[in-house]
Structures are given as structure tokens and as C-alpha cells.
């Protein structure tokens, strides 16, 4: 493989069922979608390291000397764990790596601060863990995503997977160990590392992630997931068609998770019952998805029930409710995906949706209401590597 450049990409994801309850040990179902995040690596002739976050947009750089000093003075592999780094990012002392970069994030931009901070943290953590403590040539990493940031489509996990895979490949290049026919998907031990590093990134981004997003974005395929246990690939018998509708309302996952935790602390009995119901619902959905028969009407009923359970724990939003109403008026069931509080809604579609006048009516009404939507299916590949000439 050429070491002059490569592209890594990772899919977005949607949680079909199990939002929030997965944090409390219940199962969830999630899968990748066709929207992806991309990282490109380019070797530079100049002695500098450039980090370009095209989707924000924001960029910063380090001289090669500063980057090597950064690797020497910080050991994010052995001495700085993700939660410790998160505390540094939240402190009033300023950007933790300010002494090394030429351009700091704007003080009022959380996206700039966490994009740059997490990228540098992962680069240090991964290079150090792979035995790399200095570089002899510069490089540029460019990150871009076709997903809305903060919409609940796994953009932060896709980002973490791409940076983790990119940093690992960079370590192989530096050590002269990147083989011409290397494939990420054919290297299970590497995928395990990438998923773990991306989970570290999710801790920095969200403090208490479930582990679903980094797993999906690394491995792909529809999975049933339970915290602390190996994920289970589902034997999907029929294509799952969905419409993803973006509310345009960004939200912070950590705040919504904290809100549910607060509600649970004040009403433990009631919340335990709701969370248990969410877990049982996931098991029922799995039996439907793995059945050869057409059980879409049952699936639609469970989608409506789950939507109401999520309303009950306070994670809906007026913009989501408008989408739900439009879907229901056209005969479809919809629910939020991800943390809620905005982000995206999923409308579940039958196999013959394309010839349905109700589907045409729904998409027209969504467009008139100012919502951006995309039709896609669930499933597909996880992280991918493509060499660049």
C-alpha cells in the first residue's frame, strides 16, 4: 500500500430500539447506515502536522518539533485515561494542549475544542501504545462527515473510529509495517483495538457512553447489544427500510443521559418498570427481525410503544413530535433515535413503500415543513480503508 496517502471511512448508525435503557443494562438493537465519516491521511514534505476538521469548519497545526515534544511530554496511553482527560477539557485552565498548537479552539466553541482535543489525545494514546514516540516527517489529517453533528447518527463515534484507525495506520507507516494488501475488516485484532480506542473517544465526548456507537461504526452489521457483554449479530431475514428525518435541533447526549439518571434517582420504581419494558420490547423486535414472515404490522406497533416509553422518560422534543404527527397522519410509525431532545427521527417503512401514495404524501409534507430527510436501509460495512495514489 502507498504510504503517501489513504482514506478511512466509518458509517453512521441508528439505534432502532433500546435508547437510554441500554445504559442500565438492557439490550438494544442498532445498525449502520449509508452516511459515512471520512478521514484522509496525506504525507507532507513540510515539517508540520495539520489537522483539518472540514465539517465544522476548523483547522489547527503543530510544527513537527512541537508534535514530537507533545509525544514526549504527554503519555496519554499510560498516564492519562479518558475520564482524566475529560476533566482537563472541562477545567477552567484552558485547552490542555495549548502550548503545542499554532491555533487554539475558540473559547465558545465546544465542537472545535473537543474535535481538536480528542484528535490529539487519540493520536498520542495510540502512537504511544504502538511504540511510536517521534516522527520524521509531517502529515495532514482531514476529517469530514456527511452527517449532521449532534443529530444522534453516531457522528462522534464515526469520528473516533476514523481517527483511531488513522492513528493506528500511521503507526504502521512509521514503523514500516503497513503491508500492501492490508485490510481492516480482515484483521479482527485490529478492529478490537480500534473499537476500544473509539470507546475512549466516546468517553471524552459523552462521559458515559453505552458502547453501541463505536461497536457499530467499527464492525458494521445489525447487532443486539448489552452493556458489558459481547454483541450479537442479528440474522436479518428482510430488509429494514427507514426514513431518517433530521429535526435540525442539536443536543448534548451527556445532558440527556444525566436527565434520565436524575429522573431515575427521584422515581426509581417507576423508572425501573419503564426500562424493563424497553428491554422486553427489544427482545420482541429481535424475534420479528429474525422471522422469515411479513410481520411489519407487529413491528409498527412496537415502534409506537417504544416512542411512548421514550416520551415518558422525558427525552422527546416538540420538533420530534411534529415529525411523529406527520408520519402517523400518513399511516406510518416513527420514533426518535439516539439520545433524543432533537436529533433525528426514524420512520419505519414497509417493503412496498416506494409504490405507496402515503409515502409520497409523507415526504412531501416533511419537505413542506422544512425537514431534511433521507431514505436508507439498515446494515452494511463498518470501518473501511482505501489507499490513495
How does 76-97 read in b/e, with b if 16+ C-beta sit within 10 Å? beeebebeebbebbeeeeebbb
Taking the model in full, what pTM does it have? Answer: 0.80
Q: What pLDDT does 384 receive?
A: 95
* pLDDT tens figures, 50-91: 999 998 888 899 999 999 999 999 999 998 999 889 988 888
Low-confidence ranges of the chain (pLDDT < 70): 1-2, 92, 108, 148-152
How far apart are alpha carbons 15 and 22 in whole angstroms?
10
Check if the beta carbon of residue 245 is closer than 8 Å to that of residue 366: yes
* pLDDT tens figures, 145-185: 877 666 667 788 999 999 999 999 999 999 998 888 888 98
Check if the beta carbon of residue 261 is closer than 8 Å to that of residue 207: no
Which of 342, 335, 285, 332 lies closest to 309, judged by CA?
A: 335
Q: What pLDDT does 50 receive?
A: 96
CATH code for residues 236-377: 3.30.70.890
Q: Is 179 strand, coil or helix?
A: coil
Residues with a known catalytic role: 213
Enter the DSSP assignment of 99. Answer: T
How far apart are alpha carbons 30 and 108 in whole angstroms?
33
Inter-helix orientation angle 155-174/188-206, to 10°: 130
Domain boundaries, the chain: 5-225+380-387, 236-377
Q: What pLDDT does 2 receive?
A: 55
Please name the CATH architecture into which domain 5-225+380-387 falls.
2-Layer Sandwich (3.30)
Helix, strand, coil share of the chain (percent; to 5): 45, 20, 35
Amino acid at each position: 500500500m502507498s504510504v503517501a496517502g489513504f482514506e478511512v471511512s466509518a458509517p453512521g448508525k441508528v439505534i432502532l430500539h433500546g435508547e437510554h435503557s441500554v445504559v442500565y443494562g438492557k439490550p438494544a438493537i442498532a445498525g449502520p447506515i449509508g452516511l459515512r465519516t471520512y478521514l484522509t491521511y496525506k504525507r507532507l514534505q513540510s515539517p508540520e502536522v495539520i489537522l483539518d476538521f472540514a465539517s465544522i469548519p476548523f483547522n489547527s497545526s503543530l510544527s513537527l518539533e512541537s508534535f514530537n515534544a507533545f509525544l514526549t511530554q504527554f503519555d496519554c496511553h499510560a498516564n492519562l485515561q479518558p475520564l482524566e482527560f475529560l476533566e482537563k477539557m472541562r477545567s477552567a485552565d484552558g485547552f490542555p494542549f495549548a502550548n503545542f498548537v499554532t491555533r487554539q479552539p475558540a473559547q465558545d466553541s465546544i465542537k472545535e475544542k473537543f474535535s481538536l482535543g480528542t484528535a490529539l489525545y487519540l493520536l498520542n494514546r495510540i502512537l504511544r501504545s504502538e511504540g511510536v514516540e517521534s516522527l520524521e516527517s509531517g502529515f495532514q489529517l482531514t476529517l469530514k462527515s456527511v452527517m449532521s453533528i449532534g443529530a444522534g447518527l453516531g457522528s462522534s463515534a464515526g469520528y473516533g473510529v476514523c481517527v483511531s484507525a488513522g492513528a493506528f495506520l500511521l503507526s504502521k507507516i512509521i514503523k514500516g509495517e503497513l503491508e500492501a494488501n492490508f485490510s481492516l475488516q480482515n484483521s479482527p485484532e485490529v478492529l478490537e483495538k480500534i473499537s476500544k480506542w473509539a470507546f475512549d473517544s466516546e468517553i471524552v465526548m459523552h462521559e458515559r457512553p453505552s458502547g453501541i456507537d463505536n461497536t457499530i461504526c467499527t464492525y458494521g452489521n445489525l447487532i443486539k447489544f448489552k452493556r458489558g457483554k459481547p454483541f450479537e449479530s442479528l440474522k436479518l431475514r428482510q430488509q429494514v427500510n427507514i426514513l431518517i428525518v433530521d429535526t435540525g435541533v442539536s443536543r448534548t447526549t451527556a445532558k440527556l443521559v444525566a436527565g434520565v439518571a436524575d429522573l431515575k434517582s427521584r422515581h426509581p420504581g417507576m423508572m425501573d418498570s419503564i426500562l424493563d419494558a424497553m428491554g422486553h420490547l427489544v427482545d420482541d423486535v429481535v424475534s420479528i427481525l429474525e422471522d422469515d414472515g411479513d410481520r411489519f404490522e407487529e413491528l409498527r406497533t412496537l415502534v409506537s410503544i417504544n416512542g411512548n416509553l421514550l416520551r415518558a422518560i422525558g427525552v422527546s422534543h416538540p420538533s420530534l413530535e411534529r415529525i411523529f404527527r406527520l408520519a402517523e397522519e400518513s399511516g406510518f410509525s416513527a420514533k426518535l433515535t439516539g439520545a433524543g431532545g432533537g436529533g433525528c427521527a426514524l420512520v419505519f417503512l414497509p417493503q412496498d413503500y416506494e409504490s405507496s401514495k402515503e409515502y409520497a404524501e409523507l415526504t412531501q409534507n416533511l419537505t413542506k415543513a422544512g425537514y431534511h430527510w433521507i431514505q436508507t436501509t439498515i446494515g452494511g460495512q463498518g470501518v473501511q480503508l482505501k489507499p490513495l495514489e
